Amino acid sequence: MPTTPLTHALPSYLDPAHVGPWGIYLQQIDRVTPYLGPLARWVETLKRPKRILVVDVPIELDNGTIAHFEGYRVQHNTSRGPGKGGVRFHQDVTLSEVMALSAWMSIKNAAVNVPYGGAKGGVRVDPRTLSRGELERLTRRYTSEIGILIGPTKDIPAPDVNTNGQIMAWMMDTYSMNVGATATGVVTGKPVDLGGSLGRIEATGRGVFTVGVEAARLTGLPVEGARVAVQGFGNVGGTAGRLFAEAGAKVVAVQDHTGSIHHAGGLDVPAVLAYVKEHGGVGGFPGAEAITADDFWGVPCDILIPAALEGQITEHNAGRIQARMVIEGANGPTTPKADDILADKGVLVLPDVIANAGGVTVSYFEWVQDFSSFFWSEDEINERLVRIMKGAFGAIWQVAQEHKVSLRTATFIVACQRILHAREMRGLYP
């Protein structure tokens, strides 16, 4: 009777047939494996997260009842350095999502060559339903529960969807209380007064803009006068849109959770940003025509920046996209089927794993500054960020040309080679 080689059996939640974000990540790894040469021998290590921690997070609500939330911290890979990746508070967080996001952090950190592995965390909660006190208790209990994994040289969380500088401050304080010393380097994305870095808030949008300008230069698309459409006008989309407008591009359409607006002549971006600040979204902005959420995808434009959520560009709307270039500000905004449709149409996709790596790059600067207790000027930070993003993107562009592959596959080739080379040099313990 044939026996299954037990050492190769995958736990059920790692099964390639598993749907969801982790399944998409596994397909991406399979796509890159033929390009890894002798390092392919180690590829299995990328298909299994190093550590998965599932925690119960009980808190007392303001009304005296006890609520339990499910929390996660996944360290996907630490071959190149400590785990690094954000913490997401969202009602739809799942283990599959956190695993995939942790793996994409391994790829992203290796792609920009910062000395980190990949990790991610999350709590399955809608934070809008919590009072400030409840949110603080949730954050502190979650931090304590994952305290056995995190630390300035072990695994360094950061903000992600629905988490911010205040939550990082509570995480830093909780960890510090537990170890008995102020440990600013345990999280990044902190307020500047607590060891945060100048330029961190805008870093992801600035990185999106930087790789977009580089790709435009390489493909002969003039940025001046280029028509840009942006989905999500928060931290990432708002900053990228503003920088493109300042460079002479026309932001012709914006969509967020409150509506979609269009102005073929170019929106007044500072006015839209001010309106969003006051009203919470672009819906009802007076200086533009309101369009349907569906029509947003067919707007005539040269550059499209999805900067909201996962799974936004799908087989249902990819065919309508008129842009020559898509810059993925969000994590995982394009489904694999949509990716193929865009490739067939000749649309250049700048993938999340390089396009939105500006945030973690400045997080790395923050961590370095915390260790040395010496802080850099905003100009120094922006100049170093642009240098790293341009260099990393240039190298990925070369690999894409050499192997005639998409920029996504090229980024995975560069990143997987770095991770697996580190793995090979370290060897297996014991």
Please give the residue ranges that form the binding site for ligand NAD (CB under 6 A). 160-161, 204, 231-237, 255-257, 281, 307-309, 329-331, 356, 359
Q: What minimum distance in Å lies between the beta carbon of 260 and ligand NAD?
A: 8
**Strand pairing class (325-327; 289-291):** unpaired
Report whether 392 contacts 361 (CB < 8 A).
no
> How far is 253 from 303, CA to CA, in rounded Å?
11
Q: What minimum distance in Å lies between the beta carbon of 236 and ligand NAD?
A: 4
Torsion-angle region of residue 299: left (phi > 0), alpha (psi -120 to 50) or beta?
A: beta
Q: What minimum distance in Å lies between the beta carbon of 40 and ligand NAD?
A: 29
Measured from the CB atom, the residue of 143 and 235 that comes closer to ligand NAD is: 235
Measured from the CB atom, the residue of 309 and 368 that comes closer to ligand NAD is: 309
Q: What minimum distance in Å lies between the beta carbon of 328 and ligand NAD?
A: 9
Q: What minimum distance in Å lies between the beta carbon of 273 and ligand NAD?
A: 11
Taking the CA atoms of 319, 98, 197 and 361 in sequence, report the sign of the dihedral they define.
Answer: negative
CA distances from 251 to 107, 239, 257 (A): 30, 12, 18
Out of 47, 50, 84, 120, which one is annotated catalytic?
A: 120
> How far is 194 from 185, CA to CA, in rounded Å?
10
> How far is 121 from 126, CA to CA, in rounded Å?
15
Taking the CA atoms of 283, 357, 98 and 96 in sequence, report the sign of the dihedral they define.
Answer: positive
> How far is 205 from 248, CA to CA, in rounded Å?
16
> How far is 308 from 3, CA to CA, in rounded Å?
47
The SS3 assignment for 338 reads helix
Measured from the CB atom, the residue of 36 and 273 that comes closer to ligand NAD is: 273
Measured from the CB atom, the residue of 71 and 207 that comes closer to ligand NAD is: 207
Which one, of 197, 185, 189, 210, lies nearest residue 388 by Cα?
210
> How far is 420 from 44, CA to CA, in rounded Å?
10
Measured from the CB atom, the residue of 84 and 250 that comes closer to ligand NAD is: 84
Measured from the CB atom, the residue of 141 and 408 that comes closer to ligand NAD is: 408
CA distances from 401 to 31, 328, 413 (A): 17, 20, 12
CA distances from 34 to 39, 111, 319, 351 (A): 10, 18, 29, 20
In degrees, to the nearest 5, what angle opens at C-alpha 214 toward C-alphas 211 and 218? Answer: 135
Q: Is 337 a catalytic residue?
A: no
Q: What minimum distance in Å lies between the beta carbon of 205 and ligand NAD?
A: 8
The distance in angstroms from the start CA to the end CA of the chain is 33
> How far is 34 from 339, CA to CA, in rounded Å?
20
Measured from the CB atom, the residue of 255 and 409 that comes closer to ligand NAD is: 255
Measured from the CB atom, the residue of 160 and 366 that comes closer to ligand NAD is: 160
- Residue nearest to ligand NAD as judged by C-beta position: 234
CB atoms under 10 Å from CB of 193, counted, come to 8
Q: What minimum distance in Å lies between the beta carbon of 283 and ligand NAD?
A: 9
Report whether 329 contacts 256 (CB < 8 A).
no
Q: What minimum distance in Å lies between the beta carbon of 241 and ligand NAD?
A: 10
> Would you name the residues annotated as active-site residues?
120
